[in-house]
Structure 1
Amino acid sequence: MNRLIPFPFFKQYNYRFDIPYKFEFDVHPQYEIYYFHSGVCNYVIGDQVYDLQPGDMIIMHGMTRHQPKVDDLREYVRSMISFEPSIIQMFEQQVRSLNPLSPFEKLKNFHIRLNKQSQSEVEDILSRIDCFYGKEDIVCYHRFLTAFYDLLLFIYDKCRSAMEECRSVSSSKEWNVQRIVAYIENRFMDEINLDQMAKELHMSKYYVSKLFRSVTGMTIFDFIIQRRINEARILILLGGPLSVTDVCYQVGFKNPTHFSRRFKEQIGLSPAQFRKKVGS
């Protein structure tokens, strides 16, 4: 009977967890489902920061570093399920004709903002999962699997539009832009030379600039600035010993005044104002 308990498929399981703990960046090979019940939370995934509202859901493939940043003075309630993708083998083949893991495979990390009706639905599913989780009873075990599969289908349904958009972005133009973005991602803190970039990507400088703007709607220079400001926001949000000037130079800016101006344009606050707001 013990072999039927679902623990081997779950690395982490917390339902309506409200115990504070020290947050550190986490990386793991399991897929993760995160639901935010209440509190104040900015969730960092890679270079993205999501300002969460109660009722928000995030799915993650696990291999991008992720960490919540919360207000220690407010109760922080969340439900988290970190699971092995191999759990899908527990479902009948007929049921698996639709791959419920597609959102994790195609979208990698995705933020879902739910309306009130959807919040009630997912909270009911999470409650049912918790009711049957870990019970040493064959009927409860199968009811647990059914509830968990229902959660995966709920997520699939909410991600359908986003997955369709991903499917349509497959032309050679988008592929080349992805190569440009990957190049920038590895070097954005340093001085990026457009001639050198074009040479290493085996494209002309003119084509690189025109292609990037036509697909993304912004220049390469503006994209680099946006990426640097995003990294600065994360560094400030997570706190630590770095001063605003240290952050400025670490993310690739050469002039603190320019950094402060561009930060305010993108975030709406100066770096110092943002640090004061998040209390880091």
Structure 2
Amino acid sequence: MNAQHPYRILSDYYYNWAGLRNGRPFVHTHPQYEIFYFHGGTCDYRLGERTIGLEPGDLIIMNGTTPHGPEVSEPTGYVRTMFSFDPHLVQLFDESLRTCDPLKPFRVLKNYHFRLSPEAREECEELLRRINRFYGCNDIVQYNRFLMAFYDLLLFLLVQGRSVMEDKQKTDPGREQYVDRLIRFIDLHFMEELKLEDLVKHVHISRFHLMKLFRETTGTTITDYLYERRINQAKLLLMCEKEISVTRVCYEVGFKHLAHFSRLFKKKVGHTPEAYKKLAHSEGGLTRQRQKTNPTCIS
């Protein structure tokens, strides 16, 4: 079947996978959010300055920008499910489904290790099975079933982290609240003409402190975050709207000049917008480039 949309929309994906990619562990960073579930084996997982001795049923959420990776002595016994995704993927959900803020654990906790109870572990593994069952199917109905399973997993994380988030928000210093406020503002107004002076006025701190605080908290600059936000939105539009023109996408996401948009898009994505759109709507297209699953899993 010729896919009209790139149904496999996760940045990286492994389900119930044993062994190491490229045969070795590695510590890395990336701009996507990540969910990691440990099925079994022996693994010490590095998360920033921490090293976590994992037990089967452990789950980790990560904002991606913190260095992370496994330290494994017996790779063949190291079994996990992992996938990373662009945080703006939640825009694929109806607005009413976003009102509960399904990405709140990633924003508030940033990087967090859950040691799940037996009941929570059973529920989590069932959710992961559902995601794997529907992920990548070239059928719009199955694609939407995947989205609902993925959304359900985000709600599961929201419930698991609720008490921890409440405690953290009570004790966190105000500095991160400035960054959260700014990110929310950018996410709502990225398609408009935004100047740094306007952002400074919105959060009510000095320009110097805002730029410094944003870099320390997110690992990127305000300008780079804004461009990343616009490019991610452009990717979604190009993936999900087959008839939309690249020029229209350029202006809809907030760029003023098509040449600037195309140059930045290629730098960050690796393809021009035209090539990305063509690849997204070709048979298999982007999905075949992205999916790395265990040969035994359903896809």
- What TM-score comes out, normalization by structure 1 length? 0.59
Kept in 1: contact 2:15–2:82 (CA 8 A)? yes
Give the match for residue 178 of structure 1: none
Say whether the 8 Å CA contact 2:57–2:121 is kept in structure 1.
yes
Find the aligned partners of 2:63 and 2:16 in 1 and give their Cα distance.
Answer: 21
The whole-number CA distance in structure 1 between the counterparts of 2:83 and 2:93 is: 18
C-alpha distance after superposition, 1:176-235 (max 9, x if no partner) = xxxxxxxxxxxxxxxxxxxxxxxxxxxxxxxxxxxxxxxxxxxxxxxxxxxxxxxxxxxx
| The one of 82, 103, 106 aligned to 1:104 | 106
Other-structure match for 2:142: 140
Report if aligned partners of 2:7, 2:135 keep a CA contact under 8 Å in 1. Answer: yes
- C-alpha displacement of 1:4: 3.0
**Superposition RMSD on alpha carbons, in Å?**
2.0
In 2, distance between residues paired with 1:102 and 1:3? 31
Structure label with greater radius of gyration:
1
Cα deviation code 1:234-278 (max 9, x no counterpart):
xxxxxxxxxxxxxxxxxxxxxxxxxxxxxxxxxxxxxxxxxxxxx
Match of 2:95 in 1: 93
Distance 1:51-1:143 versus aligned 2 partners, 3 A rule = same
- How far is the alpha carbon of 1:71 from its aligned partner? 2.3
Instruction: Note if 1:4 corresponds to 2:5.
Output: yes
**Structure 2: stretches of 5+ with no match in the other structure:** 178-299
Q: Residues 35 and 58 of structure 1 are in contact (CA less than 8 Å); yes or no, is this contact kept in structure 2?
A: yes
Q: How far off its partner does 1:5 sit?
A: 3.1
Deviation at 1:12, TM superposition (A): 0.7
Report deviation, 1:171. Answer: 5.4
8 Å contact 1:5–1:135 — kept in the other structure?
A: no
Structure 1 stretches of at least 4 aligned residues deviating more than 6 Å after TM superposition: 172-175
CA deviation string 1:99-139 (max 9, x = no partner): 11010011110000001111110100000000000000011
Q: How many residues align?
A: 174
Identity value in percent:
43
SS in 1 for 2:95: coil
Using the alignment, how far apart are the partners of 1:174 and 1:116 within structure 2? 34
* Partner residue, 2:13: 13
Q: Give the SS at the match of 1:2.
A: coil
Q: Taking structure 1 as reference, are residues 59 and 94 closer, same or farther at Cα in structure 2, changes over 3 Å only?
A: same
Cα separation, 1, equivalents of 2:38 and 2:172: 33
Cα drift, residue 170 of structure 1: 4.1
Unaligned runs of 5+ in 1: 176-280
Q: Report the counterpart of residue 164 of structure 2 in structure 1.
A: 162
47, 52, 55: which one pairs with 2:54? 52
Structure 2 CA distance, aligned partners of 1:34 and 1:145? 18
Q: Tell me, in whole angstroms, the C-alpha distance in 1 between the residues paired with 2:174 and 2:142.
A: 50
Counterpart amino acid of 1:136? N
2:110 matches 1:113? no
Report deviation, 1:22.
1.0
Using the alignment, how far apart are the partners of 1:25 and 1:148 within structure 2?
Answer: 26
- Tell me if the contact between 2:19 and 2:75 (Cα under 8 Å) persists in the aligned partners: no
Cα distance in 2 for residues equivalent to 1:71 and 1:36: 15
Return closer, same or farther for 1:73/1:67 CA change in 2, 3 Å cut-off. Answer: closer
Change (3 A) 1:173 1:142: closer
Q: 1:129 to 1:173 in 2, by over 3 A?
A: closer
Shift in CA distance, 105/172, structure 1 to aligned 2, threshold 3 Å: closer
